[in-house]
Structure 1
């Protein structure tokens, strides 16, 4: 039995959730899967550094929001995979890559976010109907895939590496809060800044470390002036920051189950997040969940955790246990491989053993 050859496709203007997802798949797909990659030039650098020496990596122009992607299609034809996996930032923006992939081999899409479909042209609907399979991290997105006509759509939760050792609980002053997020105020960081300001006025001993990049960096610098907040910029290794923290906070208004939150849980950090999508269903007992957009609830929850180190110590092992059970990247990569096998040209003949 020969290996399954999967070509993964990334097409994005910035390195974000789809790129982290692809990086982890490339690292952790089972050994019987032969991997290659088609990536646009804007985000190719990290992939080339890690994977260029060990697999075929083809760099093509950005095709996001384009009607056609001839360079990506030619690259995929040259690779001649058994199946193609295409990442979709939302339902519409990467459809040129879907069409290019479908012209070469059976195609599986991973949908990372929602979006409007009411302006879809007929060929966009047809691209979804032609998919051999699709996966998404939440039931809401799986439902959207089915609405778009995908025959075989299933939920596979995001996967993160589980570190060997958790972050040890600490009693110290100040208590260090942390967040890793795009620097976009209306995405929830405005609520976190308001909470920090309230806690500072109440004399609570805190510091906030905020990592990420984005269009509102200058506005955040201005809003956090005089507050115990440090903006760290983008980080190549989030683990180093997570090990400096006592509490992780992800007050997102839009994205359920963002990778930094899952990484924080895997590190055994007490975490605060918001009730979006599948958050309540998946993270109940693992994180403290507050209503989305509620600055007062966020402030009260953070204050309770800052003042109660015993509560933090109680929450930490529960967070890590849920991460081990639900988000272990090796398990979720194996589940994705099953979908790729089923969707490939010769799916019935390709097993899941050591080829």
Structure 2
């Protein structure tokens, strides 16, 4: 292959919508300094009444019947689960038939469960990829099991470290910050149950919950805990930057951006070893707990009690994020993988 810039088309949610996948696509398309020219195509948006059918059909038509010179060198789909494997999966299959390079990143918290329920569909989509980028070892092992011939290259989601460095700390400072849907999947009920024990050890400690309402009520929160609502991204990052500890005691995840962004900001994280989170630990500034409220409270109490130790955890997290999650390091991995395939 020659050394001309590759054109990579990232396919997935509308980059102007909220969510980790949209943020990742936006970062990859705006990344400077590689021999890859990236653009995006929307196959789904929250406003879609057809669950993405119309934009997906338009994209398929553009690839199949548009000028050959306008076709990308690679189509890189961003997959979660469910309808994503139909929409973006169809785009991958058609791109492969047209001789376009095909790749996919697996973002979904339910990917492994979904792949067991629908192995034929998932196998067909994965087999249509030259390279698959899982976020960690569990999804990587499942891809290898379903499609042994497909190249697998684990890669983390990218962080815009310059953005994080430039975010002003919020005046609404809190000791502990939760970010995500306020529901059972994200483990908010566990944090609510643990908080009174934290307050007994640290009577002035404060905790804020940030995110859209889910299936956990916020009308009767314990003393010292406040619900701030679904904050704009910059405001959420400002609240997080001013925190002492980030907390996400989830029951089900892939590798959430809230955890990575907390580490990028130098804020230690208390979380649960679900999904691909269990590849992280003390070396990355992450304190893992099984989610039991007593154990969760003990982790929070310990980190709040020792400023020097907390600073060491935060420093380890920031260093790890800089080395492994910067948008520059992630785009280098992707570019090398495109060239090598």
The interval holding the TM-score normalised by the smaller chain is: 0.7 to 0.9
* Contact persistence 2:196–2:222 (CA under 8 A): no
Question: Distance between the aligned counterparts of 1:158 and 1:246, measured in 2?
Answer: 23
TM-score scaled by length of structure 1:
0.79
Matched pairs, number? 321
State the shift of 1:242 in Å. 2.0
Larger helix fraction of residues: 2
CA distance in 2, matches of 1:253, 1:121: 24
1:97 paired to 2:88: yes
Moved more, 135-144 or 245-254: 245-254
Tell me the alpha carbon deviations over residues 165-220 of structure 1, each in whole angstroms, 9 at most, x when there is no partner.
5999xxxxx9621121122224211111112233235552111122211433xx43
Q: What displacement does 1:280 show?
A: 4.3
2:208 aligned residue = 209
Verify the 8 A CA contact 1:275 1:289 in the aligned structure 2: no
- 2:18 is aligned with 1:15: yes
Alignment of 1:25-40 (within 5 A): 25-28=28-31, 30-40=33-43
184-193 or 132-141, which moves further after superposition? Answer: 184-193
Residues of 2 paired with 1:123 and 1:188: CA distance? 31
1:97–1:290 CA distance, 2 compared to 1 (3 A): closer
CA shift at 1:225, angstroms? 6.0
Return the offset for 1:306.
1.9
For residues 228 and 85 of structure 2, the distance between their equivalents in structure 1, rounded to whole angstroms, comes to: 32
Structure-1 separation of matches of 2:311 and 2:92:
48
Is contact 1:212-1:235 (8 Å) kept? no
* Whole-angstrom distance in 1 between the partners of 2:219 and 2:145: 43
CA gap of 1:321–1:314, structure 2 versus 1, over 3 A, is same
Distance in 1, Cα, partners of 2:49 & 2:340: 28
Q: CA RMSD in A?
A: 3.2
> 1:102 & 1:306 partners in 2: Cα distance?
51
What is the DSSP-based 3-state SS (H/G/I as helix, E as strand, rest coil) of the residue aligned with 1:221? coil
What does residue 73 of structure 1 align with?
A: 60
Partner of 2:315: 317
Deviation at 1:140, TM superposition (A): 0.6
Uncovered stretches (5+) of structure 1, i.e. residues with no partner? 45-58, 169-173, 344-355
Seen in structure 2, the aligned counterparts of structure 1 residues 278 and 111 have a Cα distance that, compared at 3 Å, is closer
Q: Determine which of 132, 137, 150 is the counterpart of 2:130.
A: 132
